[in-house]
Amino acid sequence: MYEELSQLVCIIAGYVYKENVISEWLKNNTFDLFCEVNLRDITDLNVHLPNELNIHLNNLFELDKQIFLRNVRKHLDSAGNHILNNSSIKDSSKLKYFRCLKSDEIKKSRSSIEINKIASIMPFKVDCNKLVDEWKLLRFESLSNIMTRTWRRLIVNRPRRAEVSNVVWLSAIVLKTRAIITPCCRVDAACRRAAIAGGWYSSGATCLPVPPRLWGVGGRAVVAVDKVPTGTLYWRPLRTVSTKTRIEHFWNNIFDLKSGLGEIKYSTVTKVVRACLTLSHGSAEVERGFSRSGNILTDDKSAMSCRMSNGRLNIQDGLRIKKKKKRKQKKKINKNLEEEQQLRREEEKQLIDTKENIVDLEKQYLSAKKVEAKQKKAADTFLEEATERRQKAINSNDLVNAQVAVGMIDAAKKLRDNEQKRSIKTESLQTKIEKKKI
Q: What pLDDT sits at residue 29? A: 64
Instruction: Specify the range with the lowest mean pLDDT, choosing from 117-126, 148-157, 207-216.
Output: 148-157
Residue type, 160: R
Mean pLDDT of 207-230: 41
Q: What share of the chain in percent tops pLDDT 70?
A: 69
CA distance 297 to 311: 12
More confident residue, 84 or 160: 84
More confident residue, 236 or 437: 437
Q: What pLDDT sits at residue 431? A: 77
Q: What pLDDT sits at residue 28? A: 67
Q: What pLDDT sits at residue 276? A: 84
Query: Is it the case that residue 298 has pLDDT exceeding 60?
Result: yes
Query: pLDDT by residue (tens digit) across 34-67?
Result: 777 777 777 777 777 777 777 887 888 888 888 8
CA distance 226 to 210: 16
DSSP summary character for residue 171: E
Which residues, at least 6 apart from 185, have a Cβ–Cβ distance to it below 8 Å? 171
Q: Collapse the DSSP code of 289 into the 3-class scheme (helix H, G, I; strand E, B; otherwise coil) and give the result.
A: helix
Mean pLDDT of 232-240: 35
More confident residue, 241 or 55: 55
Query: Is it the case that residue 222 has pLDDT exceeding 50?
Result: no
Asked if 170 and 222 touch (Cβ cutoff 8 Å), the reply is yes
DSSP summary character for residue 123: S
pLDDT band at 329 (very low <50, low <70, confident <90, very high): confident
Query: Is it the case that residue 358 has pLDDT exceeding 70?
Result: yes
pLDDT band at 170 (very low <50, low <70, confident <90, very high): very low
CA distance 153 to 220: 6
pLDDT band at 155 (very low <50, low <70, confident <90, very high): very low
Asked if 309 and 293 touch (Cβ cutoff 8 Å), the reply is yes
Instruction: Specify the range with the lowest mean pLDDT, choosing from 86-90, 202-206, 234-238, 292-296.
Output: 234-238
CA-CA-CA-CA torsion sign (340, 342, 346, 352): positive
Mean pLDDT of 376-382: 78
Query: pLDDT by residue (tens digit) across 69-119?
Result: 888 888 888 887 787 777 766 655 677 788 788 877 888 888 888 888 888
pLDDT band at 284 (very low <50, low <70, confident <90, very high): low
Concatenated DSSP letters for 226-279? ESSTT--EE-EES-PPPS---HHHHHHHHHT-B-TTSSBTTHHHHHHHHHHHTS
Q: How far separated are the first and last CA of the chain, in Å rounded?
A: 74
Q: What pLDDT sits at residue 143? A: 67
Query: pLDDT by residue (tens digit) across 393-414?
Result: 777 777 777 777 777 777 777 7
More confident residue, 243 or 323: 323
Q: What pTM value is reported for the model?
A: 0.36
Q: What pLDDT sits at residue 168? A: 42
Which residues, at least 6 apart from 238, have a Cβ–Cβ distance to it below 8 Å? 152, 153, 154, 155
More confident residue, 269 or 12: 269
Mean pLDDT of 404-428: 78
Instruction: Specify the range with the lowest mean pLDDT, choosing from 150-159, 266-275, 366-375.
Output: 150-159
Q: What pLDDT sits at residue 180? A: 46
Instruction: Specify the range with the lowest mean pLDDT, choosing from 277-291, 314-328, 367-381.
Output: 277-291
More confident residue, 76 or 429: 76
- For 336, other C-beta atoms within 10 Å of its C-beta total 10
* Domain parsing of the chain, residue ranges: 2-86, 98-149+247-293, 152-237, 362-437
- Paired with 68 in beta bridges are none
Measure Cα distances from 197 to 168, 179, 234, 410 in Å. 12, 19, 20, 112
